[in-house]
Each structure stands twice: as structure tokens, then as C-alpha cells.
Chain A
Amino acid sequence: MNSSKLWTLCRIVVFIMVILIFSPLVIPVGKADPFLLGMPYTLWMGFLVSLILLALTIIGSFVHPGRDE
């Protein structure tokens, strides 16, 4: 897969992530369970989402078609 396609894929994944962020999967209303490492669900899920977004930014910066301009 060339870098242009990978960059498009990155953008699609970020778009899907944004939809998921506002779904009950990440922010269920009034629900703190299950806890992970002592943290309530929305918090550890928020951390996970943040790390995935950061990883996508890192990947995106390497496959961006304009990287060498």
C-alpha cells in the first residue's frame, strides 16, 4: 500500500474514532464500571482513545504525502 492510501486510511480511522468517542462505547452515561487499574471506565477508555489518536498522528506524519515538501 502506498503512502497516499495509508494517509487516507489514517484519516478514515480518525473519523471512525471520533464517532466512537461520542458513542456509549467511550462515554456511557452514568456508568463507572468496569474499573481498570483503579480508574473508572470513561477515564481509562479516554486514555486509550488518546493513545490511539496519538499513534495515528505519528503514523500519519510518516505516511503523509507532503512529508518531504
Chain B
Amino acid sequence: MKGTLLIAGTIYILLLVAFTMLTKTKEKDSKSYFLAGANLGSILGLFTFAATLFSTFTLLGMPEFFRTHGVGAWIFLAVSDLVMVFILLWIGYHLRKKTRGQAYLGMAGFMEKCYESRLAGIVAFLGAFIFLIPYVAIQIRGVATFLQGASENGLPLWVYAVGMVVIMLIYSEIGGLKAIIYSDTLQGILLLIIIWMIGISCLNKLGGLTSTFEQINAQNEALLSIPGPKGLLNFQFLFGSMVAICMIPFTQPQVSTRLIIMKNERSLFRTAIGLGTFAILVILPTLFIGMYGAIKYADASIPEFQAQSLIHDQAGYLGAFMIIGLVAAAISTADSQIFALGGETRSLLKGEDKSMVKIARIGIFIFAGLALIFALKTSDQLVLLARSSFMGTALLAPMIFTGIFYERANRIITLPWLTLGAIIIFILTELDVTPKTFLAVRADLILLGVLGLYALISVMSDKRRA
């Protein structure tokens, strides 16, 4: 395995270097650096969307989620992603229409314009910052923990984490979004091929699909339906997750930026179809790996299950490819998120473009540093932490949608304040300071519902006044 890992790893690094050199430009203005020239075709669009969305959370988190909570995890992620793709087509078109002719640099700047309020921009930035940093951190930690568990060289966790952040910073700082998009294409293809190789291998080891579920049925029947053995996948969890996931293209800047920079509507629509197909293809093998884990490693710890099923139980070359795939998955998502936070910073800054780009680039280093610190402190519950990140950013949705759909959003200046309040309450809930449920309803659903209702009533009453 070591030989394969060395060769494949070298090829991977060389390709990243090649993409960085190819996309390196001396002139770094906001449009070329943060928006890659805003002329993205459907093929590159598909892979950069896919590599940004499907990450360590999918590769490491989803097999574990299937192993622990059973087949209902398909509804949690795959079905939610398919609804998200349709919404990308629907609301993505309106977002592009609204930003057409504007110098869009980030959602924060766009919100500032829509509401004619600095606060709206700051709330959009804060929401992205607070909930994306932990998300970036779990990518880094997930893979660092995995690498530590899979290798037997005794290196501490932080060495792997720092290594990934340094690679990511080098190519994104030099080549900007264009370098990230090219590397995403490589990483998206790698991710898909490798996860299928491992998935098929696991399925074969269990004797095929029918045999797999017969064994699960005999061992732990609760895995075959919702809410799963631990009762997590109930209506509220699944519904809340779907709502949060559907909001990602608009509330998470690394995705909304890609939506804006598509060449035209046709490219966006083709990308949406490709993304839906990619979602099914990338999540399906994680089901096989998860079921394999449920049978073979039902009582193992998370790192033990991951190291055994993804590396040690596989042929040497497969284990090596898996390590490369995981590093690629983590880097491709984390770099996009950190870079998007840089873009959001730029969209809020006013002044001479070159100087503002420089400040935003320094911001990228700071965000990466914060994510690294968080990665070393956070827990191993990848999927649940990712869901908190999705839900946290989803709280921005009523404010963003009002900005997109209502021409006179500037008259509803209370909405950004209310959104800020909801974000604070949500954080308190996550920290167990305030209760997670109220009258048996999840607090995150209540917050989102109140914000949505308030936005709707505000728009209707403003229309009536006008």
C-alpha cells in the first residue's frame, strides 16, 4: 500500500501544482480572483459544485451514519439533496436575475445593497462565518483523525491537520477561485471513483445486496426503517434537515458564489441535473459501506470502523486510493468555504479594489487559522456537526429570500435584527444553554418558522401600505 500511496499521492500533488501554475495571474482584481472571471461552464460547474458539497462529511460521515441510524439516512441526505437541486433550478434563477448587472462579490455585500443597511451585510457575513468555520473544521478533523488511525507512524493529529491547511492555502492563495475550481474537478472525479471502488468491494464481501439486508435483518432489524435504532431519524429531524439542506445554495457563500458565476442559465440548469445524478451516485456506495460496518463492526468505535472498513479490509491499492480521495474531499470543500469567507469579506469592504483584495486575502489566512484551531478542539460527530452548520446558515434564508424576491426589502430593516437574534438563540441551543425543544418541537425549526413567518407578514403588510 505504501508504494501505491506514494505514487498516487505524488501524482495528485503534481496535478494540484499544475492547476495552480495554470491559473496563476499577476493581476489580482476581485472579479478574476474571487469570481474566477464569472464565466463557468456546466462541466466545471458540476464538479466544483459536487466537490464543494460532497466532502468528508459524505465520505466518512455518511457510512458511519448509515451504520448507526440505518437506511433512513438515505432520506436524510440523498432525498434532501434531490429537492435542493430542484430548488437550485427554481430560486437560483431568481437570484441570478436579481444580481444581473450588479457588481456581485458576495452574499453579504448583496444583502447590504438589498436592505440598504450595513447591518444586513454584517448579519449575512456573521452567519456564514460562525457556522462555516466549524464545518471547515470537521472536514479537517475528520480526515486528520482518519489518517492518524489508519497509519501506524504515531504522528499527532495536528501534523495532518496543519499539512492539509497548508496545501489548501498555497494553491487557493496563488490561483484564486479558478485554481480551486480546476482542483475541484480533479477531486470530484477522484471522490466518485474511489468511493465506488470501496462500496462495491464492501458489497461483494457481504455477498450482494439481498444477502446484506438479510444479515442486517437478522442482526439489527431497526436499521431497516426509520427512526433507526437510536430513534434519531424521526419526522422533525428529517424535515428540519431537508429544509436546511435546501437552503445551502443560497445561505452558504461557497455554493451561492458558484451559482452566480455560471456562464448562463442553460449552464446552471445542466449543472443542476448533473449534481442530482452525482448526489445519487456518491451517496449510494456510502450505504454499502455503512451496512458493511453494521454487520462487521457493529460495536466498534467510529475511527476503528472507518480505518477497518475503508483501509485495512481493502486491497492495498484501494486503501491508498481511499486516503488520497479523503484528503481530496476534505481539501476541496474546506478550501472553497475558507475562500468564500474571503469573498464575503471583500464584498463588505469599500475602497480601491487591489487593496481590498489584499485585505480579504489576509482574511483567508485568519479564517484558515481559526478553522485549524477549531479542528483540534471539536468532536468526531461529523454528520451531526455538519447538520448544525446547515441549520445555522439556514436561519439566514428568510432574510436572503426577502432580499431576492422583494424589491423594497430596504423597508423591512427589522428582519436582519431578528435574524441576528435567532442566530444567537440557535448558538445558545447548540451549547445546551437554552432547551433544544419547546413544546416537543425542535428549537431550530421554531426559529426558522418564526423568521419565515415574520418575513412573509412584513412583506405583505408593506405591500398593503405601499
Binding site for B on A (CB under 8 A): 10-11, 14, 17-18, 21-22, 26-32, 35, 37-43, 46-47, 49-51, 53-54, 56-58, 60-61, 64, 66-69
Q: With an 8 A cutoff between CB atoms, is B90 at the interface?
A: yes
Q: List 12 A-B contacts (CB under 8 A).
A: A10-B86, A18-B242, A21-B79, A22-B239, A27-B226, A27-B235, A32-B225, A38-B211, A57-B273, A61-B89, A61-B270, A67-B269
Number of A-B contacts (CB under 8 A): 120
Check if A38 sits within 8 Å of B238, measured CB to CB.
Answer: no
Q: Pick the contact of A50 from B79, B212, B222, B225 — CB < 8 Å?
A: B79
Q: A32-B224, A54-B277, A61-B272 provided; 4 other pairs, C-beta below 8 A?
A: A18-B83, A22-B239, A28-B226, A32-B217
B453 smallest CB distance to A (angstroms):
18
Could you say which of B67-75, B302-310, B324-332 contacts chain A? B67-75
Give the B interface residue count (CB, 8 A): 43
| Residues of chain B with a CB closer than 8 A to A32's CB | 217, 221, 224-225
Binding site for A on B (CB under 8 A): 71-72, 74-75, 78-79, 82-83, 85-86, 89-90, 93, 97, 208-214, 217, 221-222, 224-227, 235, 238-239, 242, 264-266, 269-270, 272-273, 276-277, 280, 287
B210 — nearest CB in chain A belongs to which residue? A38
The docked-state distance in angstroms from the alpha carbon of A31 to that of B227 is: 10
A48 smallest CB distance to B (angstroms):
10
Check if A38 sits within 8 Å of B86, measured CB to CB.
Answer: no
The docked-state distance in angstroms from the alpha carbon of A37 to that of B215 is: 15
B430 smallest CB distance to A (angstroms):
24
A14 — nearest CB in chain B belongs to which residue? B86
| Residues of chain A with a CB closer than 8 A to B212's CB | 38
B239 — nearest CB in chain A belongs to which residue? A22
Contacts A46-B74, A61-B272 given; does A54 touch B280 at CB 8 Å: yes
A7 — nearest CB in chain B belongs to which residue? B90
| Residues of chain A with a CB closer than 8 A to B93's CB | 64, 66
The docked-state distance in angstroms from the alpha carbon of A20 to that of B273 is: 22
